[in-house]
């Protein structure tokens, strides 16, 4: 009788847990579908069961598979996909997601002949059904989405799997090291890893990842939606006050906003406030919270022809951006942005889209998910950092109300973005190189 290695036991135990959790996953999806109906769509796909329309037999062995779990990763994938289609004309895209926002955003990226399905639940049987069904030529995981069975079975089945736009925070590294018998073989089994920064590369190598290059952050190559920016410009021309935005706010941050607003006094009424929650299932919750704090709220979903302006705006304290796919519109309306996720200890959201829309950014103290981009932006004068929400509001109000400071921050942001572009073409070339090495 042979003994099994700690690595084998770790993956076997993990597989048993994920197998046992399948009924819980089904219940969770149905609960989430009450707020986001997309979660109830095509649930069998999560378990490797596909409808005839999505079997994709004619693409077997030719799919370029991209996995973008949620909204942010899907937006990064969109940038990479544009460069890939230029380099690989006629490519067939297989696009997978784990969240409703990711799948909704991903639909916009599909062309005739492409397929979109849910990410397979990470049990050996489900992943193997997925891989054997589609037989991708190559798989590209976006940013952080490394799953033990997904990686292991792709390797067993001869599907090279790369991690693109890869990032790993110190916190995530510590968590991975605590389960090293599971994490190390998973990262080691990847075919290639292309990191955003040297610090990300160093942390990834500590887990055994085959880092093949530091290519930068794809999101620097993003180009804001010109139509949304033009609509923002038109709407902004009818406003009497500058706009300060709390963008992609996360749990707890709107509650921080309410007392901080009260401390501003008359200065707080000199600007128009706008809050855009990160997750759509929180829109109603945030609206109720703001109204319960004594604020008069106007919701984007109820606007007709634009935001309230003139006399109609006098009684409105705060706008709520309760729509999807319009961040460029909100950034275009704003004269300064407080970056959500950075005032609560959640690691922050990416500031690059705001800067690309010429919207100066104020960061809170918690930016560990995007530490290098945040630090470099602050060093370049493209962003400011505040120790807490109250100080952040004061900085944002000053930026929005001072034309000279605002213009300087915009100029610094443009220079900062120009300096860091190029990851999309470099990553597309790396993916094409990986494909060529298999030919």
SS3 123: coil
Question: Residues 337-351: what's their mean pLDDT?
Answer: 94
Q: Is the pLDDT of residue 439 over 90?
A: no
Rounded CA separation 338/266 (Å) = 19
Q: What secondary structure does DSSP assign to 219-260, as a single string? A: GGG----HHHHHHHHHHHTT-SS-EEEEEEE-TTHHHHHHHH
Q: What is the pLDDT of residue 305?
A: 86
Helix (H) or strand (E) holding 414: helix 403-420
Do 263 and 277 lie in one domain? The reply is: yes
Q: What is the pLDDT of residue 437?
A: 85
Neighbours of 220 (CB within 10 A): 22
Question: Residues 385-395: what's their mean pLDDT?
Answer: 97
Residue 64's closest CA among 45, 51, 77?
77
Residue 300 sits in a domain of what CATH number? 3.40.50.2000
Residue 43 sits in a domain of what CATH number? 3.40.50.11720
Q: What is the pLDDT of residue 59?
A: 64
Please report, for residues 124, 158, 404, 435, the alpha-carbon distance to residue 154 in angstroms, rounded to integers and kept in the order given: 10, 6, 54, 15
Give the pLDDT band (50/70/90) at residue 57: low
Q: Is the pLDDT of residue 72 over 90?
A: no
Do 55 and 200 lie in one domain? The reply is: yes
Question: Residues 151-160: what's their mean pLDDT?
Answer: 96
Give the pLDDT band (50/70/90) at residue 41: very high
Within-domain flag for 145? yes
Q: What is the pLDDT of residue 230?
A: 97
Do 206 and 341 lie in one domain? The reply is: no
Q: Is the pLDDT of residue 63 over 50?
A: yes
Within-domain flag for 19? no
Question: Residues 62-74: what's their mean pLDDT?
Answer: 94
Within-domain flag for 45? yes
Q: What percent of the chain has pLDDT over 90?
A: 85
Q: Is the pLDDT of residue 425 over 90?
A: yes
Q: What is the pLDDT of residue 51?
A: 84
Please give the structure tokens belonging to residue 266: 């008359």
Q: Is the pLDDT of residue 315 over 90?
A: no
Do 46 and 161 lie in one domain? The reply is: yes
DSSP state, residue 387? S
73 in catalytic set: yes
Please report, for residues 246, 306, 329, the alpha-carbon distance to residue 235 in angstroms, rounded to integers and kept in the order given: 19, 6, 10
Q: How many domains does the chain have?
A: 2
Q: Which domain holds residue 57?
A: 30-216+422-437
Within-domain flag for 22? no
Within-domain flag for 95? yes
Do 208 and 333 lie in one domain? The reply is: no
DSSP state, residue 41? T
Within-domain flag for 163? yes
Do 121 and 252 lie in one domain? The reply is: no
Within-domain flag for 2? no
Q: What percent of the chain has pLDDT over 70?
A: 96
Q: What is the pLDDT of residue 3?
A: 46
Q: What is the pLDDT of residue 1?
A: 40
pTM over 0.95: no
Q: What is the pLDDT of residue 7?
A: 59
Q: What angle do CA 136, 210, 425 make, to 5 degrees?
A: 65
Bridge partner residues of 64 (DSSP)? 93, 138
Do 288 and 197 lie in one domain? The reply is: no
Do 163 and 290 lie in one domain? The reply is: no
Q: Is the pLDDT of residue 388 over 50?
A: yes
Within-domain flag for 207? yes
For the chain, helix, strand, coil in percent to 5 are 55, 15, 30
Query: For residues 106 and 74, is the Cβ–Cβ distance under 8 A?
Result: yes
**Out of 45, 73, 326, 353, which one is annotated catalytic?**
73
Write the pLDDT tens digit of every residue in 184-237: 999 999 999 999 999 999 999 999 999 999 999 999 998 899 999 999 999 999
Do 210 and 231 lie in one domain? The reply is: no
Do 202 and 230 lie in one domain? The reply is: no
Do 144 and 160 lie in one domain? The reply is: yes
Please report, for residues 58, 249, 398, 400, the alpha-carbon distance to residue 395 in angstroms, rounded to integers and kept in the order given: 56, 17, 5, 9
Instruction: Please tell me which residue, 338 or 8, carries the higher pLDDT value.
Output: 338
Q: Is the pLDDT of residue 2 over 50?
A: no
Do 243 and 295 lie in one domain? The reply is: yes
């Amino acid at each position: 009788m042979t003994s099994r290695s700690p690595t084998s036991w770790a993956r076997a135990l993990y597989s048993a847990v994920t197998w046992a959790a399948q009924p819980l996953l089904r219940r969770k999806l149905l609960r989430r579908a009450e707020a986001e109906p997309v979660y109830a769509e095509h649930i069998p796909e999560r378990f490797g069961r596909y409808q005839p329309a999505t079997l994709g037999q004619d693409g077997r062995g030719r799919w370029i598979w991209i996995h973008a779990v949620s909204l942010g990763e899907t937006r990064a994938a969109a940038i990479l996909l544009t460069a890939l289609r230029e380099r690989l004309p006629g490519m067939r895209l297989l696009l997978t997601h784990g969240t409703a926002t990711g799948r909704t955003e991903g639909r916009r990226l599909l062309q005739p002949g492409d397929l979109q399905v849910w990410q397979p639940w990470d049990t050996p049987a489900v992943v193997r059904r997925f891989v054997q069904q589609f037989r991708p030529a190559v798989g590209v995981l976006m940013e952080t989405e490394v799953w033990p069975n997904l990686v292991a079975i792709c390797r067993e089945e001869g599907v090279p799997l790369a991690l693109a736009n890869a990032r790993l925070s110190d916190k995530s590294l510590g968590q991975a090291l605590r389960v090293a018998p599971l994490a190390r073989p998973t990262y080691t089994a990847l075919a290639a890893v292309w990191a955003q920064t040297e610090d990300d590369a160093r942390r990834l190598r500590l887990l055994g990842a085959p880092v093949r290059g530091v290519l930068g952050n794809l999101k620097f190559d993003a180009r804001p939606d010109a139509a949304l920016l033009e609509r923002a410009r038109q709407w902004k021309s009818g406003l009497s006050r500058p706009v300060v935005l709390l963008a992609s706010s996360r749990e707890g941050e709107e509650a921080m906003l309410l007392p901080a607003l009260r401390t501003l006094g008359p200065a707080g009424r000199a600007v128009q406030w706008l809050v855009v929650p990160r997750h759509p299932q929180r829109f109603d919750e945030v609206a109720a919270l703001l109204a319960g704090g004594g604020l008069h709220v106007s919701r984007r979903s109820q606007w007709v022809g634009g935001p309230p302006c003139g006399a109609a705006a006098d009684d409105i304290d705060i706008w709520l951006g309760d729509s999807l796919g319009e961040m460029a519109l909100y950034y275009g309306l704003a004269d300064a942005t407080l970056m959500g996720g950075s005032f609560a200890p959640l690691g922050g959201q990416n500031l690059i889209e705001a800067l690309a829309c010429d919207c100066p950014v104020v960061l809170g103290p918690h930016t560990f998910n995007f530490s290098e981009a945040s630090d470099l932006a602050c060093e370049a004068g493209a962003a400011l950092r505040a120790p807490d929400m109250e100080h952040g509001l004061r900085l944002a109000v000053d930026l929005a109300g001072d034309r000279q400071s605002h213009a300087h921050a915009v100029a610094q942001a443009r220079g900062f973005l120009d300096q860091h572009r190029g990851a999309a073409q470099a990553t597309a070339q790396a993916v094409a190189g990986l494909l060529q090495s298999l030919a």
